[in-house]
Structure 1
Amino acid sequence: MTKLWPALLIAALLGGCTAPPTTTTTEPSAAAAPRTGTVYWQYMRSTSYEARQPGLGISHRYESRVGWVDVYVYDLKQSNWMPGVDDPRFDEHFKASVNEVRLAGTSGVYAKVEVGPVSDVRIEEQTLRRVSFRVLHAATGKSYESFTYLTARNGRLLKYRMSFATPAPADVDAIAREFIAQNLRSGPDMPRASPPFLNI
Structure 2
Amino acid sequence: MKLLFALFLSALLCACASAPGTAPGSTGAPSGVESATEPAPAPPTGVQWRYINSKSYEATNPGLGISHRFESNVGWVDVYIYDMKRNWQPGVGDPQFDEHFRSTISEVQRAIAQGMYASGKVGPTRDVRIEGLTFRTVSFRLVRPRDGTPYDSFTYLAVRNGKLLKYRISFNTPSPANMDAIAREFIERNVRTGPETPVGTRQLRSA
> TM range, normalised to the smaller chain?
0.7 to 0.9
| CA drift at 1:13 | 2.3
Find the residue that maps to 2:124 and give its secondary structure.
strand
CA offset digits 1:65-103 (Å, max 9, x no partner): 00000000001111x211110000100000011112112
Structure 2 distance, partners of 1:155, 1:4, is 21
In the alignment of these two chains, the number of paired residues is 179
Matched, 1:155 2:154: no
Which runs of structure 2 are paired with 1:1-200 in the superposition (5 Å)? 1=1, 4-22=3-21, 38-78=46-86, 80-192=87-199
CA offset digits 1:118-176 (Å, max 9, x no partner): 00000011000000010001124221101000000000000000100232123111100
Structure 1 distance, partners of 2:55, 2:113, is 26
Contact persistence 1:47–1:60 (CA under 8 A): yes
Structure 2 distance, partners of 1:179, 1:100, is 25
Find the residue that maps to 2:164 and give its secondary structure.
strand
Using a 3 Å threshold, how does the CA distance of structure 1 residues 177 and 87 change in structure 2: closer, same or farther?
A: same
Contact persistence 2:4–2:84 (CA under 8 A): no
Instruction: Return 5+ residue gaps in structure 2 as ranges.
Output: 24-44, 201-207
Structure 2 distance, partners of 1:150, 1:4, is 20
CA offset digits 1:8-63 (Å, max 9, x no partner): 12212222211111489xxxxxxxxxxxx821000000011112311111100000
Matched residue type, 1:111? A
Structure 2 distance, partners of 1:179, 1:115, is 22
Root-mean-square deviation over aligned CA pairs: 1.8
Contact persistence 1:81–1:157 (CA under 8 A): yes
**1:30 match:** none
Find the residue that maps to 2:109 and give its secondary structure.
helix
Contact persistence 2:53–2:68 (CA under 8 A): yes
Contact persistence 1:110–1:136 (CA under 8 A): yes
> Normalization by structure 2: what TM-score?
0.81
> Normalization by structure 1: what TM-score?
0.84
Q: Which moved more, 1:50-59 or 1:119-128?
A: 50-59
Structure 2 distance, partners of 1:137, 1:168, is 15
Identity over aligned pairs, percent = 59
